[in-house]
């Protein structure tokens, strides 16, 4: 079941509390993650319907990480896990994008990096690989020109690993089909012209070609030629030792979900607007109230939950949580008022149904 069930004290009341409060959070939450799939170096936060894509993505990223380490050394691969979020549906994905062409996003936080990727992309694994290389370059070569960084990400995006007996062969430099038409017949690339214009969809093909010729021999601070002659492209191979990773899967606890929600919203504020200080404070206060409530410290939890609801009085699920805390503390009249506010502030049928279900279970 969800999280550590020892916290539920085998109580029907508390079981209802878990279902109702978590249901409200998942209904209105941008992440809506319920499952974490982990390998040694990556964590996918996903919904159950995306588990297969998450497993494929983990294997792909572990292969790419092994290749990067073999090519560039251990200093190029992070020891802290990269976290990947796959939205539950196309509508959820579109909340993160400015254009329909964008299929993946990399954002660096304080000590933790996030990748958000559209699992319905036609080239899902290539998009995921592209965004992972952004994360690598952000830590190792942070001052690359945008066009060159995008080219390097494209260069690695269709990397392959092939088994050769006890060894694994990395295959790099295969011309992606999406770039073939643009590059066919092109004899040279004007790098100065490419660098002087904003990146467009058509810019990725010449950027890939430049990376093919100049990477991985490029070193920080190297100058670029004004023009680069290009010729036929052929795959390159290198052999490495590689073992497929073991994957573990777990359901997220309520506390994990709430912590992720706050961090994720601070990383990806809606409509690209900064999260206001008061909003961040309300979420922090609410999370601490939930933590104390889970520890059974109801008397300490209630003032924090009350403060959070005052700071964000339109959040139905927070009123639900406060009602549950009141009921545990035998403050029945206060619990009734909080439930009524939860029903009144419900923004959709899901929130309304959850609040009414909790009302029936408590009274």
Same-domain pairing of 62 and 201 = yes
Q: Using DSSP bridges, classify how beta strands 82-85 and 113-117 pair: parallel, antiparallel or unpaired.
A: parallel
Mean pLDDT of 192-221: 89
pLDDT tens digits for 308-323? 888 888 888 889 889 9
Check pLDDT > 90 for residue 272.
no
Residue 248: inside a domain: no
Percent of the chain with pLDDT over 90: 28
| Region for residue 183 given its phi and psi (left: phi exceeds 0; alpha: psi -120 to 50; beta: otherwise) | alpha
Residue 234: inside a domain: yes
Q: What is the CATH number of the domain that holds 13?
A: 1.25.40
Q: What is the CATH number of the domain that holds 145?
A: 1.10.390
Q: What is the mean pLDDT of the chain?
A: 79
Token reading at 32: 């809506």
Beta-bridge partners for 162: 169
Same-domain pairing of 266 and 174 = no
Domain count, the chain: 2
Residue 246: inside a domain: no
Check pLDDT > 70 for residue 137.
yes
Q: Which domain holds residue 286?
A: 5-31+254-362
Same-domain pairing of 234 and 93 = yes
Same-domain pairing of 66 and 98 = yes
Residue 196: inside a domain: yes
Same-domain pairing of 211 and 267 = no
pLDDT: which is higher, 219 or 17? 219
User: Phi and psi dihedrals of 34, rounded to 5?
Assistant: -125, -20
So what's the pLDDT on residue 265?
64
* CB-based burial label for 8 (10 Å; 0-12, 13-18, 19+): middle
Domain limit, last residue, from 179, 205, 240: 240
Residue 249: inside a domain: no
Omega into 216 within 30° of 0, i.e. cis?
yes
Measured CA to CA, the distance from residue 360 to residue 209 in angstroms comes to 64
So what's the pLDDT on residue 322?
92
So what's the pLDDT on residue 26?
37
What distance lies between CA 211 and its chain's CA centroid?
27
Same-domain pairing of 223 and 83 = yes
pLDDT: which is higher, 47 or 4? 47
What is the end-to-end Cα distance of the chain in Å, rounded?
25
Percent of the chain with pLDDT over 70: 81
Measured CA to CA, the distance from residue 335 to residue 214 in angstroms comes to 66
Residue 245: inside a domain: no
- Give 58's pLDDT tier (boundaries 50, 70, 90): very high
Mean pLDDT of 279-306: 83
Mean pLDDT of 295-307: 90
Domain limit, last residue, from 213, 240, 267: 240
**CB neighbours of residue 74 within 10 Å:** 9
Same-domain pairing of 165 and 273 = no
What Å distances lie between residue 107 and 85, 116, 139, 218, 316, CA to CA? 11, 8, 12, 24, 30
So what's the pLDDT on residue 125?
93
So what's the pLDDT on residue 13?
31
Measured CA to CA, the distance from residue 336 to residue 170 in angstroms comes to 63
Residue 247: inside a domain: no
- Give 99's pLDDT tier (boundaries 50, 70, 90): low
User: Taking Cα atoms as reference points, which of 316, 303, 313, 314 lies closest to residue 349?
Assistant: 316
Same-domain pairing of 139 and 226 = yes
Same-domain pairing of 286 and 168 = no
**CB neighbours of residue 53 within 10 Å:** 19
Domain limit, last residue, from 195, 212, 240: 240
What Å distances lie between residue 270 and 83, 178, 193, 226, 264, CA to CA? 19, 31, 35, 41, 11
Residue 137: inside a domain: yes
Check pLDDT > 70 for residue 223.
yes
Same-domain pairing of 220 and 279 = no
Residues in Cβ contact with 342 at an 8 Å cutoff, skipping those fewer than 6 apart: 316, 317, 319, 320, 323, 351, 355, 358
Same-domain pairing of 20 and 40 = no
pLDDT: which is higher, 263 or 49? 49
Same-domain pairing of 93 and 17 = no
Measured CA to CA, the distance from residue 211 to residue 224 in angstroms comes to 11
- Quickly list DSSP for 130-193: HHHHHHHHHHH-TT--HHHHHHHHHHHHT-EEEEETTEEEEEE-PPPHHHHHHHTT--EEEHHH
């Amino acid at each position: 079941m969800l999280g550590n069930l020892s916290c539920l004290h085998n109580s029907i009341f508390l079981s209802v509390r878990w279902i109702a409060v978590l249901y409200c959070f998942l209904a209105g939450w941008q992440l809506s993650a319920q499952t974490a799939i982990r390998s040694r170096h990556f964590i996918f936060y996903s919904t159950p319907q995306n588990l297969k894509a998450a497993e494929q993505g983990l294997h792909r990223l572990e292969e790419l990480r092994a290749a990067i380490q073999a090519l560039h050394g251990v200093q190029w691969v992070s020891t802290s896990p990269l976290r990947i979020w796959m939205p539950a549906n196309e509508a959820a994905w579109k909340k993160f994008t400015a254009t329909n062409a964008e299929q993946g996003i990399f954002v660096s936080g304080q000590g933790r990096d996030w990748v958000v990727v559209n699992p319905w992309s036609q080239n899902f694994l290539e998009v995921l690989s592209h965004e992972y290389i952004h994360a690598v370059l952000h830590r190792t070569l942070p001052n690359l020109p945008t066009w060159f960084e995008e080219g390097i990400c494209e260069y690695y995006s269709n990397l392959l690993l092939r088994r050769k007996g006890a060894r694994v062969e990395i295959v790099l430099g295969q011309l992606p089909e999406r770039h073939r038409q643009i590059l066919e017949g092109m004899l040279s690339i004007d790098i100065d012209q490419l660098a002087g214009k904003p990146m467009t969809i058509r810019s990725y093909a010449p950027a890939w070609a430049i990376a093919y010729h100049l990477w991985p021999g490029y070193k920080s601070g190297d100058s670029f030629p004004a023009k680069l002659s290009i010729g036929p492209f052929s795959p390159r191979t290198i052999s490495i030792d590689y073992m497929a990773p073991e994957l573990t899967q777990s359901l997220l606890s309520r506390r994990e979900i709430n912590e992720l929600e706050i961090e994720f919203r601070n990383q990806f504020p809606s409509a690209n607007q900064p999260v206001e200080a008061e909003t961040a404070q309300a979420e922090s206060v609410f999370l601490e109230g939930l933590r104390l409530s889970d520890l059974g410290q109801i008397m300490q939890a209630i003032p924090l939950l009350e403060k959070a609801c005052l700071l964000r009085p339109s959040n139905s699920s927070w009123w639900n949580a406060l009602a549950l805390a009141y009921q545990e503390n035998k403050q029945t009249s206060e619990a009734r008022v909080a439930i009524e506010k939860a029903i009144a502030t419900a923004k959709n049928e899901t929130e309304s149904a959850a609040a009414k279900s909790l009302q029936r279970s408590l009274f």
